Chains A and B, each alone.
Chain A
Amino acid sequence: MESVNMNKVQPPDQQSPAPPSLPSMTTPTPTSLSTSTSTSTATTTTTASTTTEASTATSTSANSDNTNTSTSTSTSTDKTNTDISNTDYNPQKALNMPASFDPSIVQRLTPTKNLLAISSHVVHGNVGNDAIQFPLNLRHWNVDCIYTTNLSNHPGYRQFKGTKADADLVSILYTGLNDLNLHYDAAIVGYTASKENTAAVYQILKTFHDSGRRTVTVLDPILGDNGKMYVNSDLIPVYKDILRDGLVNLVTPNQFEIETLTDMKILTADDLKLAVNKFYQLYNVKNVVVTSVQLENNPDIYCVGSAGDGAIFYFKMEQIDAVFSGSGDFFLGLLTDCFVKYNGDLVKSLKETITIVTKVLQLTYDLCTDCTNTDQKRYIGDKLYLPDLKLIESKEILLDQHMLEANELVPVFI
């Protein structure tokens, strides 16, 4: 931590022959100091010893990356339009950027859309909002998170510290946001943790619905998985109210959740069809996606969708031989992004979402199986357990907005 490149520093006192050399002050360090600066160092040294004091701040370039050596500081003498309350204010002139900076970059930057995400938070790991925020930031969403938990990590680690949010936190925070008159292009509801917070979600969704401004709302009615409830059952009636009152555009139950919400078991393809139809009879939601459906005597896993037009379709999911945490939340976030991007085209949205999720899970699997440390590997049944999705490592996949492979995915209509 000690390396310092003193050669780049310019003394203000031009009487001094050259910047001080400091071999005694610096500990010998590896070659971390950039080679690109070595050429400009010479320039700086000689210029500095001849410049007049008044111009020291602006006349020399300490930076070889900078193609224009005459205006390398941010403080050039262009003083026009510094009054920004002036209506003729031109931000490109008012900020003295160096000539190497291309102001037209702002035209190429993608404006963001705003998303409200209500879900869990863990300090370490990528579940809940932590599986939604980073990927969606990369995909041009400004993500405002309301956290329903503050845990050190998710329970998949078999131990954790921290607590659920207070029952009125969602309501309090949303009131604050509402007071600012913020508009959200989309909202995601994931793990809500309590009946009170779910009721607050009902109110929020109702506000969006009644406002007349378009907010695409997506609900993952998190109840449990693989036949096991992991929330209090008093949440169920609140979810039912939300769904019945037509407050969401898209709902993403898993098999257990749609079974619970329709009060029937799905064992066969016919059951599945029946359950989806029953869901439409009971609730007022246009788009339904059932994530991970597994039928009796069939090893395949399906993702099932319907856009409320009577047609039900499915994609056969590529199976990776491992158990992941956070993949459902990650799926939810991406699906919301695609659903907005493709204007509610559910087939197209699912194609892209499934393609990306599969790639990220595969990368997570590859990175974890590559690691040599076998002591830390855990198994659930005979499957490798991977507690953390490798989202940062998946950056390039997540940045891809035109996933060509998605076209290869073909929905099968039932």
Chain B
Amino acid sequence: MAIPISYSLRNLWARKLTTALTAGGMALVVFVFATVLMLEQGLRQTLVSTGAYDNALVIRRAAGTEVQSAVDRTQAAVLESRPEVALGPDGVPLVSKEVVVLISLGKKGSGKPSNVVIRGVGDAGLTLRPQVKIVEGRTFRPGSSEIIVGRSIEERFSGVALGERLRFGMREWTIVGLFDGGRSGFDSEIWGDADQMIQAFRRSMFSSVLVRLNDASAFDSFTAALTDDQRLTLEAKRETVFYAEQSETLARFIRILGLTLSIIFSIGAVIGAMITMYASVANRTAEIGTLRALGFRRGSILLAFLFESLLLGVIGGAIGVAGASTMQLITISTVNWQSFAELAFSFDLTPGIVFAAMTFAVGMGFLGGVLPAAQASRMAIVDALRAA
């Protein structure tokens, strides 16, 4: 028979300060742990939601990123005529031939320069990306020196407000609209007309071609056709896969760094919990003897102390997760190592992360409590009673 749970609960309550400090230590570790997972999740979320499943992005084989890729006009024309490509209501293929260039802009406040993606898009560019919506002003007119700016760019960089003029590619460009990319990577881009960009940057080739497939299952025959056609040194990826791969290096770095830190911190928290629990056992030696004399078994003593320590973990975990959830209000930006451009993203708390963080916290409680609890259960009754 188990010792009543209220006994463990009230013992934690009776030592409020010690409990608060120990749980607080654990909460900090859980906070770091959860925040890192949220950061990684936010980054993946941002880049994955950048793509649509039935869109295929075509770049030069082995290019890896759009910036490094080149697709010439002939190749683009071949792609456009593939039967797997969906047609718009006007019978025109849903294809956006795009050019991606990096420019440097000064950040708000510090004025420090950072890389920004300039994307020249084709006529279907906006149609292919339904998550992108103009929130202020209007879209650019094809054939003009007009550009539209992503929400995150407008927030973080100076000189990019509606109506302002931006100088790059040996031209002045007028900002005629602001767009919301639906928390995707497009929020961190500036868009204009692809043909104008190619001229301005003295390019002869596009960077990538984005096509809408007839249906998502046409992807396999589309890639097969690309491989078979000797004229095309290109490869196609589902847009979702392409952007997920873009996040891989940075996401993995955040994960490894964060988890390493969490593990190192957690050793401290576990030792803290262990000291608390050893002190608790030492203070209650006579109580342990009494409980055993009354007929409670070693196992019950072990469970009561272990439960107390697990509870410390749960309290710490709950505080840590609650703290981490406030991080969702914050948006941060960093350079994506694959595209070399600034990317803004936020912390994203998922049920999976809450579960992982709470498991981590309970795990710390278990590790901190198991040795003291075992010590408590091993005491000889007569020796324990003598401590009264």
Q: Answer yes or no: are A and B bound together in one complex.
A: no
Q: Which residues of A contact B (CB under 8 A)?
A: none
